Copies of this chain bind each other. A is one copy, B any other.
Amino acid sequence: MTHLTMTDIARAAGVSLTTVGRVVRKSGYVSEEKRVAVERVIRETGYVPNRIARGLKSNRMNLIGHITVLNPNMLYEQISKSLNDAASREGFQTLTYTVDWERVSLEIVLDELIGHRVDGIVITSHPRLDEELLHKVITRAIPLVMIERTLALEGTDRIVVADYEGAFQAVDHLISRGHDNIAYAGKIPDHEVEKRRLEGYRQALNNAGISSGESLVYLTDNYGVEEGRQAAEVLLELNPRPTAVFMTSDLFICGFLQVCYERKLRIPEDISLVGYDNTLSMMLSPPITSIRLELSTLGGRAMDLLKTRKDNPGLPSREVQSGTALVERESVKRINYEGRG
């Protein structure tokens, strides 16, 4: 049994194609009588309008393309979900592609998205964007929003996470609890995101008049549990041992915690920890204080940017900040004037 068409419904209900159309999309005048008749036929046959045909007329399928990078982190899946929800609230569907870092794969995916005549494109945290790659999108005036790892580009919009503020908050919190020997474990600052985080750490220390020795900064080239372990191996050997560590990913926290567990170091008695991204921290033992990213509102904000730009393609490039907030849990010790972990 194949799909019925509006013509089939029209025939069955004894009305014209147009009338069926009017009933289906609830527009225009239809007499009560015919409307009821058509609705009955639709209900009985289970007719569902063909969106492809509809899309061909209007050249719009009400689709938003979302491109995400392959990542073990739950972060990006949360962003996906937030975008899906926001989109569907406005009658859009999301076409999600997960790509690796290769230039070609992004290129292919963009072509597919354009082929689908999406009404907007969201690219989350792709680290290797360049203008040429996005040229096709721009010239077609397809609204484009980049999230987290972005590229400043005319005619496009960006949502960047307040990483500087987030890192600052984390370290400032530690300082306010009496810590002054605070280590940093993060990714090598080869991208704006990582630079901002490291800068937030340094500035918080500076503001408090605390000098940060370079040995306190442990840099790795990947976000992962194993890297967190390595950070612990190094940082815990420091003499004097830092009383606190700020790590720029909850994934690092997991690894760090494993080493502490092996060495029977207690959190926060022996060392205080603050994480970042707030994805895993609430599930760990003990629950870890972490920096929450405002992910749930991200989708809505992306949709807003997309819509306003569609209505007004000439808008200058906009950048909006996504906030961060410290979520206090049980991993930070309060140190007195005397005390030292």
Contacts and interface: CB of A to CB of B under 8 A. Distances in A.
A184 B96 CA distance: 38
A239 interface: no
A88 interface: yes
Contact of A254 (B49, B225, B283): B283
A48 interface: yes
How many identical subunits does the complex contain?
Answer: 2
A53 B98 CA distance: 25
B283 A262 contact: no
A140 interface: yes
Interface residues of A, number: 53
A214 B108 CA distance: 57
A20 to B, nearest CB: 15
Interface string A29-56: 0000000000000000010111111011
Interface string A109-124: 0011011110000000
A265 to B, nearest CB: 11
A85 B105 CA distance: 13
Given A3-B59, A84-B98, A98-B81, A136 B285 contact: no
A117 B251 CA distance: 41
Given A84-B96, A258-B286, A258-B287, 12 more contacts: A1-B141, A52-B56, A52-B59, A53-B56, A56-B56, A81-B98, A84-B97, A84-B98, A94-B96, A96-B96, A257-B285, A284-B284
A77 B77 CA distance: 7
Closest A-B pairs by Cβ, 10 of them: A261-B285, A254-B283, A51-B115, A48-B114, A52-B55, A77-B77, A257-B285, A258-B285, A46-B136, A52-B56
A225 B94 contact: no
21 contacts: A1-B139, A2-B141, A3-B59, A3-B117, A46-B135, A50-B115, A51-B115, A51-B116, A52-B56, A52-B59, A74-B77, A77-B77, A93-B95, A93-B97, A94-B96, A225-B282, A225-B283, A254-B283, A255-B283, A258-B284, A258-B285
Nearest to A279: B74
A96 B280 CA distance: 24
A50 to B, nearest CB: 6
A325 interface: no
B95 A140 contact: no
Nearest to A264: B266
A61 interface: yes
Nearest to A313: B1
A17 interface: no
A285 B285 contact: yes
Interface string A225-268: 10000000000000000000000000100110110111000000
A112 to B, nearest CB: 7
Nearest to A114: B48
B117 A51 contact: yes
A55 B63 CA distance: 15
